[in-house]
Amino acid sequence: MTPLFSSSPLWDEVAYWALDLETSGLDPRRHRILSVGMVPVRAGAIRWGERFYTLVHPGSFEGLDEEAIGVHHILPEELHRAPPLSRVADRIEERLGDAVLLVHHASLDVAFLRRAWRRLGRSWPRRRRVVDTQALIGRLEHRLAAIRAHDRPMPRGLAEARASLGLPAYDLHHALTDALATAELFLALRARLGATRLGKLTI
């Protein structure tokens, strides 16, 4: 009998781009992307030398959430000098290509990317392969529950999940640092899950 995921490539035969966004709020319908950080994983290793980071001009400064500014410390005067979303979208697309998009909390990050692409009159690829480290945490938790039924649920936050797996603490709410943190978390989760095929990792 052929294994279910036998047609899926080996996990380390594909490239991943860990991506994190800092935004002006949490509603993709009203808020805008303010910065993008991306870090690639190739052949099972993080390639920090290929990292990408940029601020993004929001187009409009109306409704810029003061609470969000307090979290990510991106000031409006910095954004005035930032490249427009269209140029940043080009840079993101250049990197993603046929690679796998790697995020922590896909329901938020991918929603912001879809909405941004729509504002630009572009189509977000329907077949874009996505790995969500929050989803991988859920799979690992389910696996561990079969062994240790009374364990506490694993934390879903990026910093808390890393700490639970013994990964070092980083400063939060900077898109590039969080992208690196996501890439490291992915490698740790993949190893603990023992996933050898991409199909076991994507959502």
At residue 61 the predicted structure's pLDDT band, cuts being 50, 70 and 90, is confident
Nearest to 12 by CA among 135, 195, 203, 136: 195
If you classify domain 11-200 with CATH, what class do you get?
Answer: alpha beta
pLDDT value at 10 more than 90: yes
33, 191, 13: which is closest to 108 by C-alpha? 33
| Residues ≥6 apart with Cβ < 8 Å to 128 | 96, 101
Most confident region among 13-17, 58-62, 75-79 by mean pLDDT:
13-17
Q: Where are the domains of the chain?
A: 11-200
- DSSP annotation of 63 reads T
Mean pLDDT, the chain, as a whole number? Answer: 93
pLDDT attached to residue 150 = 66
Find the helix or strand (DSSP H, E) in which 123 lies: none
